[in-house]
């Protein structure tokens, strides 16, 4: 009888250990992601040239790409590169690109992506946050376009780069740079800004805008699925730092609860939580307010990063990226628009604005809600910006101020 009890005890201990191990695996894997980059042929014909070998692309079948690879599409064809950070670049027909850099760390803390357009046209939707050593660059005819949180188009034959959302910073070999703001076109030959001309292929834009909506919807569904862990082993779920952190962030106002939770952690565990917050923040950066719960989770994640990271540059970057959401929120979700503007105003001291102008400037720009916006006060906001003087505007909030100025015109 004693031997039987011992066996039962050992079995129970092993079972509990297995439950913890399996659940830890499921929780860990639910937040892990493939950071390789792939090319996928959507229609027509294409090829992937890798280390001198030419592989024919097959419809709806992903193929992994590496630095040094060349992707070609032929007539009446369309392909998409899904980068390791989940940003995308679509290749129109008769397009050729060279992959120069292709690195994304597992936790998304470092992203180095660069490619060169050798012919044809591309459309890129960049969804990650880039700061520090991270970047997303496209080269074309001797100029380099560096982007963040941006949707932009480039054409080799027609010599243009267009920003469809936010701002693209373009530099040439002479060291000159131009901010291509939303709705503007850079003429590569003259290296000057122009209004968008009739030569732009509107059908290519319409197709990509449609595909972008579908892609963001897919990202949203996958992200929600990763949060909704339906594994029956949830009885031990709260024993992981990640899940406990996430459960707090899902609350309506988690700041105080998170502070208590974070304060009692060891330094090692605090660093793990910060690392997880950074990864979560990257994973959810695509959310622009169409899903209220996810956007609130994004704000909660960002606020607790701002309050607990020691990286001052990162704090300002996190705030700047919220400015990119304002236009969509103003048009589609007044409640989140007001919440976001108040959030930015609450942390205004992190922004690189002249102290004597900061209070009035931010009130003018951020505290206009959708109901109050009209031509008169829009012009007042623009005058407020202009009154700072060009020498003060340069560099303020990086290119975000130019975006705001263009947005309110």
Judgement on whether residues 186 and 296 belong to the same structural domain of the protein: no
Q: 151 CB contacts (<8 Å, ≥6 apart)?
A: 123, 124, 125, 126, 163, 164, 165, 166, 212
Tens of pLDDT, residues 235-244: 444 458 888 8
Tens of pLDDT, residues 140-191: 999 999 987 789 999 999 999 999 998 899 999 999 999 998 889 999 999 9
| 1 inside domain | no
| 222 inside domain | no
Closest CA to 31 of 278, 255, 264, 251: 278
Q: What phi and psi values does residue 340 have, to the nearest 5 degrees?
A: -70, -40
Judgement on whether residues 302 and 174 belong to the same structural domain of the protein: no
Closest CA to 130 of 83, 92, 163: 83
d(CA 356, CA 58): 60
Owner of token pair 């990271």: 309
| 185 inside domain | yes
The residue from 152, 182, 216 where one domain ends is 216
- Rounded mean pLDDT, 7-36: 52
The residue from 216, 243, 270 where one domain ends is 216
Residue 249 sits at the vertex; the CA angle it makes with 245 and 252, to the nearest 5 degrees, is 150
Judgement on whether residues 382 and 307 belong to the same structural domain of the protein: yes
Which pLDDT band holds residue 360 (cuts at 50, 70, 90)?
Answer: low
Judgement on whether residues 167 and 103 belong to the same structural domain of the protein: yes
Judgement on whether residues 168 and 292 belong to the same structural domain of the protein: no
Which pLDDT band holds residue 9 (cuts at 50, 70, 90)?
Answer: low
**Element of type H or E holding 359:** helix 355-366
3-state class of 176 per DSSP?
coil
| 290 inside domain | yes
pLDDT at residue number 243? 86
Closest CA to 119 of 151, 69, 159, 88: 159
pLDDT at residue number 238? 41
pLDDT at residue number 362? 62
The residue from 173, 194, 216 where one domain ends is 216
Domain that holds residue 368: 227-408
**Element of type H or E holding 116:** strand 111-119
Name 115's bridge partners: 99, 138
Judgement on whether residues 172 and 195 belong to the same structural domain of the protein: yes
d(CA 142, CA 285): 31
| 389 inside domain | yes
pLDDT at residue number 196? 76
Judgement on whether residues 174 and 103 belong to the same structural domain of the protein: yes
| 27 inside domain | no
What is the domain-level CATH number for residue 117? 2.60.120.1440
Centre a 10 Å sphere on the Cβ of residue 91 and count the other Cβ atoms it contains: 25
Joined tokens for residue 150: 């941006």
**Structural domains counted in the chain:** 2
More confidently predicted of 361 and 195? 195
| 3 inside domain | no
Judgement on whether residues 209 and 280 belong to the same structural domain of the protein: no
Judgement on whether residues 92 and 194 belong to the same structural domain of the protein: yes
Name 59's bridge partners: 41
The four Cα atoms 306, 310, 312, 314 give a dihedral, to 10 degrees, of -60
Q: What is the pTM of this model?
A: 0.81
């Amino acid at each position: 009888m004693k031997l039987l009890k011992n066996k039962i005890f050992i079995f129970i201990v092993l079972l509990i250990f297995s439950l913890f191990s399996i659940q830890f695996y499921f929780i860990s894997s639910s937040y892990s992601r493939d950071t390789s980059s792939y090319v996928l042929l959507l229609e027509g014909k294409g090829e992937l040239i890798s280390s001198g070998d030419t592989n024919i692309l097959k419809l709806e079948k992903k193929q992994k790409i590496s630095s040094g690879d060349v992707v070609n599409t032929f007539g009446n064809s369309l392909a998409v590169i899904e980068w390791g950070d989940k940003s995308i670049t679509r290749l129109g027909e008769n397009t050729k690109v060279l992959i120069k850099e292709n690195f994304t760390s597992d936790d998304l803390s470092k992203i180095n992506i660069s490619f060169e357009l050798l012919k044809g046209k591309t459309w890129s939707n960049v969804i990650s946050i880039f700061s520090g050593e991270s970047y997303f660059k496209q080269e074309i005819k001797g100029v380099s376009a560096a982007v963040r949180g941006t949707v932009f188009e480039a054409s080799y034959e027609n010599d243009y780069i267009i920003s469809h959302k936010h701002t693209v910073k373009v530099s040439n070999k002479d060291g000159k740079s131009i901010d291509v703001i939303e709705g503007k076109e850079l003429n590569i030959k003259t290296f000057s800004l122009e209004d968008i001309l009739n030569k732009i292929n509107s059908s290519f834009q319409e197709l990509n805008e449609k595909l972008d909506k579908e892609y963001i919807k897919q990202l949203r569904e996958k992200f929600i699925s990763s949060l909704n862990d339906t594994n029956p082993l949830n009885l031990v779920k709260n024993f992981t730092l990640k899940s406990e952190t996430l459960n707090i962030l899902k609350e309506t106002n988690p700041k105080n609860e998170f502070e208590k939770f974070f304060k009692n952690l060891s330094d090692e565990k605090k660093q793990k939580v910060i690392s997880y917050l950074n990864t979560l923040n990257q994973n959810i950066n695509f959310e622009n307010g169409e899903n209220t719960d996810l956007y609130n989770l994004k704000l909660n994640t960002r606020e607790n990063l701002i309050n607990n990271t020691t990286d001052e540059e990162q704090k300002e970057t996190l705030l700047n990226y919220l400015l990119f959401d304002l236009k969509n929120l103003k048009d589609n979700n007044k409640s989140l628009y007001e919440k976001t503007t108040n959030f930015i105003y609450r942390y205004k001291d992190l922004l690189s604005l002249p102290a004597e102008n900061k209070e009035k400037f931010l009130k003018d720009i951020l505290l206009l809600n959708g109901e109050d916006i009209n031509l008169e006060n829009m012009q007042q906001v623009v005058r407020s910006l202009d009154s700072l003087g060009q020498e003060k505007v340069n560099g303020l909030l990086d290119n975000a101020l130019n975006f705001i100025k263009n947005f309110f015109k």
